[in-house]
């Protein structure tokens, strides 16, 4: 990486709205003078929002048209451009959002937690405070009914609203599919894992990259001028940011994130698995680490880990995904979501793998979407899979045969956050050689495309000009694909 890294880093677009370790970075409460004049009292969040809309109706209308409200956007799924998102697809682990509204809408920017996406909504249905609170005291209501009689003074919070900070974003962009996988007890390191968010790096806020005002780009970023594998680094860095030509050449077939994100979960554990068989039956499992007590499994069967090494797959930004009612092969691994087959626009990209053991209907051979408990720490009903399956499939409006079993699933989630300082980027032998992290056969190569890596590990010659200027190998043949859309990794 060249010497201009830390000056250029202030504009890089790998946004950090999903880095959990930033919860400790909360700015002091502040408010504009006109907000200081708000009096109240307010009996509900909706009453408070009505006060906001009196001056900010245009902004409210922009939010209502954004993906943050609609939970839907166009994406290329299974080769077709279709509406895709929490509101019209199954979330995370084949969970129906509409059936589990009280769980899922805890992260919807609505004052009505019981309605996933009300049609023709009134602007005052927005929850303005969840994004604009600067006191750190506001909490989303977990009640399925509209918020009322909050346990805090809405007037005080309203007088201290301001621009969203990292903590506002992390209220929702924190766990996977609502699983409480990273509680405060699991936060091992106080500093952000991504150099762009650290005070000694870019000192970014989420809005540095995810701007667009109240239109809210969400997972999109302001410098999104490339659709190849969701690669947007060149929007702020140049297209050839390295001093060594070979590294710039790698950028033609390797995502920037592959080299610059060594691990995920560097400071706070991330979800790596969910075993439904263990839900409600086991006890939490903890590890004693130098950084503190680390929980690796909770009572719901959620499994977490830190410093997770990515897996690397070809990716052009489009996806394959399990859809409602799709038949499975119970003896095989069902892919819930992952990158589409390789196209000529694909790049080698880092992913987190999340395995699960979940229910399927033995007769109809499709996954069972569960009906979770409406509230409380226990997700699964006390009577186990019976009501979980019956009530869940009734809500999904698909027949349930009464016969269930368990099957293995896997989900591949793109990793976009956790960029390390330049000097900690992967080196040649992190990927090449016998101990390299790349699975070359799975990527379509006959073997390691850089034999010098093997020679070096055997104590032979060191890479010289020939190795430096030889360039990366020609990619394996690509499959014909459709134009890619922005990745669907946040749904």
DSSP 218-245: TTS-TT----GGG--GGGTS-SS--SSH
119: Cβ–Cβ under 8 A, 6 or more apart, which residues?
A: none
| DSSP code for 360 | E
Residue 486 — pLDDT band, cuts 50, 70, 90? very low
For residue 170, tell me if it sits in a domain. no
pLDDT digit string (tens) for 221-266? 543 434 443 357 877 888 789 999 999 999 999 999 999 999 998 8
**In a 3-state reduction of DSSP, which class is residue 219?**
coil
318 and 462 in a single domain? The answer is yes
The count of other CB atoms within 10 Å of the CB of residue 340 is: 22
Separation between Cα atoms, residue 399 and residue 304, nearest integer Å? 33
Tokens of 432: 């090449």
Highest mean pLDDT, choosing among 164-178, 269-283, 432-446:
432-446
133, β-bridge pairs: 161
Choice between 470 and 211, residue whose per-residue pLDDT is larger: 211
Please check whether residues 428 and 313 belong to one and the same domain: yes
Q: CA 313, CA 348: separation in Å to the nearest integer? A: 5
CA–CA gap between residue 393 and residue 470 (Å, rounded): 56
Rounded alpha-carbon distances, angstroms, from residue 267 to 108, 211, 305, 330, 367: 26, 26, 10, 36, 34
Average pLDDT over residues 188-212: 79
Q: How many helices (H) and strands (E) does the chain have?
A: 14, 11
Which of 413, 89, 92, 93 has the alpha carbon at shortest distance from 276? 93
More confident residue, 280 or 31: 280
* Strands 404-414, 347-361: pairing kind: antiparallel
At residue 83 the predicted structure's pLDDT band, cuts being 50, 70 and 90, is: confident
- 299 with 356, same domain? yes
Q: 109: closest CA among 31, 174, 172?
A: 172
Domain shared by 91 and 143, yes or no? no
67 and 84 part of one domain: no
Residue 353 pLDDT > 90: yes
Highest mean pLDDT of the ranges 47-56, 226-235, 289-298, 376-385: 47-56
Which among 209, 191, 189 is positioned nearest to 201, based on CA atoms? Answer: 191
Please say if the pLDDT value at position 272 is more than 70. Answer: yes
Q: pLDDT digits over 367-404, tens only?
A: 999 999 888 888 898 888 888 899 999 989 999 999 99
Write out the two tokens for 381: 């009903």
Identify the residue with better confidence: 463 or 141: 141
One domain for residues 323 and 397: yes
Annotate 429-475 with DSSP letters as a single string: HHHSSTT-S--TTTTT-SS-S-THHHHHHTT-PPP-HHHHHS-PPPP
pLDDT(1) > 50 = no
Instruction: Read off the pLDDT of residues 203-232 as tens digits, 9 standing for 90 and up.
Output: 888 888 887 778 765 555 543 434 443 357
* pLDDT (0 to 100) of residue 66: 87
Phi/psi for 472 (5° steps) reads -70, 160
User: How many residues are recorded in the chain?
Assistant: 491
Distance CA 304, CA 272 (A): 5
Q: How many CB atoms lie within 10 A of CB 406?
A: 16
Q: With respect to residue 384, please indicate whether it lies within any of the assigned structural domains.
A: yes
Q: Can you tell me the mean pLDDT for 70-78? A: 85
Instruction: Provide the token pair at 6.
Output: 């830390």
486 within domain boundaries: no
The mean of the pLDDT values for the chain is 78
Q: Which of 14-18, 209-213, 405-409, 472-476 has the highest mean pLDDT?
A: 405-409
Considering the domain architecture, whether residues 139 and 248 belong to the same structural domain is answered as: no
| 41 part of a folded domain | yes
- Whether residue 341 is predicted with pLDDT greater than 90 in this model: the reply is yes
Amino acid 152: pLDDT: 75
Considering its fold, how many domains does the chain have in total?
A: 2
Q: What is the pLDDT of residues 395-454, one digit of tens each?
A: 899 999 999 999 999 999 999 989 999 999 999 999 998 899 999 999 999 999 987 655
304 and 403 housed in the same domain: yes
- Is 225 contained in some domain? no
Provide the pLDDT for residue 180.
53
Alpha-carbon distance of 262 to 248, in angstroms, equals 18
- For residue 335 the two structure tokens come to 């892919």
Decide if 12 is inside a domain.
no
Sequence-distant (6+) residues with CB within 8 A of 159 are 31, 35, 36, 37, 38
Are 9 and 2 in contact by the 8 Å Cβ rule? The answer is no
Percent of the chain topping pLDDT 70: 74
Pairing of strands 292-297, 285-289: antiparallel
| 433 shares its domain with 307 | yes
DSSP letter at 367 equals: B
Higher local confidence (pLDDT), 176 or 488: 176
What token pair was written down for 22? 């930033």
pLDDT at 82: 83
Return d(Cα 300, Cα 229) in angstroms, integer.
34
Q: Indicate if 252 and 148 belong to the same structural domain.
A: no
352 located within any domain: yes
Asked if residue 459 and residue 326 are part of one domain, the reply reads yes
* 111-143 pLDDT tens trace: 776 666 666 678 888 889 889 999 888 876 544
Gap between the terminal Cα atoms of the chain: 33
64: domain range? Answer: 27-71+108-164
463 against 378, higher pLDDT: 378
Q: Is residue 479 part of a domain?
A: no
| pLDDT score, position 325 | 93
- Report the distance separating Cα 447 and Cα 464, nearest Å: 22
Q: Report pTM.
A: 0.81
Reply yes or no on whether the pLDDT at 87 is more than 90: no
Phi, psi of 359 (to 5 degrees): -80, 150
| Cα–Cα distance measured from residue 310 to residue 312, given in angstroms and rounded to the nearest whole number | 6
Same domain, 119 and 190: no
């Amino acid at each position: 990486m060249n010497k201009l890294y830390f000056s250029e880093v202030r504009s890089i677009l790998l946004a950090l709205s999903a880095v959990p370790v930033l919860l400790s970075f909360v700015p002091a409460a502040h408010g504009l003078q006109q907000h200081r004049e708000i009096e109240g009292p307010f009996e509900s969040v909706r009453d408070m929002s009505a006060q906001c809309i009196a001056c900010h109706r245009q902004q409210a209308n922009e939010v209502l048209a954004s993906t943050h409200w609609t939970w839907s956007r166009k994406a290329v799924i299974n080769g077709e451009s279709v509406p895709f998102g929490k509101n019209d697809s199954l979330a995370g682990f084949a969970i129906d959002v509409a059936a589990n509204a009280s769980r899922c809408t805890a992260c919807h920017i609505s004052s009505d937690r019981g309605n996933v996406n009300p049609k023709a909504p009134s602007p005052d249905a927005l929850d303005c405070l969840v994004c604009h609170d600067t006191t750190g005291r506001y909490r989303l209501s977990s009640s399925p009914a509209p918020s009322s009689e909050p346990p805090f003074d809405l007037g005080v919070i309203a007088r201290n609203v301001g621009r969203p900070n990292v903590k506002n974003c992390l209220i929702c962009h924190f766990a996977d599919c609502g699983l409480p996988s990273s509680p405060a007890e699991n936060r091992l390191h106080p500093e952000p894992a991504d150099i762009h968010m650290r005070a000694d790096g870019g000192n970014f806020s989420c809005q540095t990259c995810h701007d667009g005002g109240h239109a809210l780009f969400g997972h999109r970023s302001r410098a999104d001028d490339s659709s190849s594998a969701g690669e947007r680094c060149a929007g702020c860095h140049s297209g050839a940011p390295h001093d060594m030509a070979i590294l710039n050449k790698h950028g033609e077939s390797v995502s920037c994130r592959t080299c610059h994100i060594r691990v995920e979960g560097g400071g706070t554990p991330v979800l790596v698995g969910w075993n439904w068989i263990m839900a409600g039956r086991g006890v939490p499992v903890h590890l004693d680490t130098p950084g503190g007590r680390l929980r690796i499994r909770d009572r719901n069967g959620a499994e977490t880990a830190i410093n997770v090494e990515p897996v690397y797959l070809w990716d052009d930004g489009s996806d394959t995904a399990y859809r409602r009612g799709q038949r499975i092969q119970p003896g095989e691994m069902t892919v819930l979501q992952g990158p589409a087959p390789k196209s000529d626009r694909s790049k080698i990209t880092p992913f987190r793998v999340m395995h699960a053991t979940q229910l399927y209907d033995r007769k109809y051979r499709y996954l069972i979407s569960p009906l979770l408990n409406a509230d409380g720490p226990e997700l699964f009903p006390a009577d186990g899979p019976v009501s979980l399956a019956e009530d869940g499939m009734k809500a999904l409006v698909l027949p349930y045969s009464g016969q269930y079993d368990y099957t293995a699933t896997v989900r591949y989630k793109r990793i976009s956050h956790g960029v390390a300082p330049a000097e900690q980027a992967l080196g040649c032998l992190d990927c090449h050689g016998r101990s390299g992290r790349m699975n070359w056969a799975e990527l379509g190569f006959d073997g390691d495309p850089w034999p010098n890596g093997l020679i070096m590990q055997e104590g032979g010659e060191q890479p010289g000009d020939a190795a430096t200027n030889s360039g990366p190998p020609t990619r394996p043949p690509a499959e014909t694909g459709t134009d890619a859309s922005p990745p669907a990794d946040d749904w």
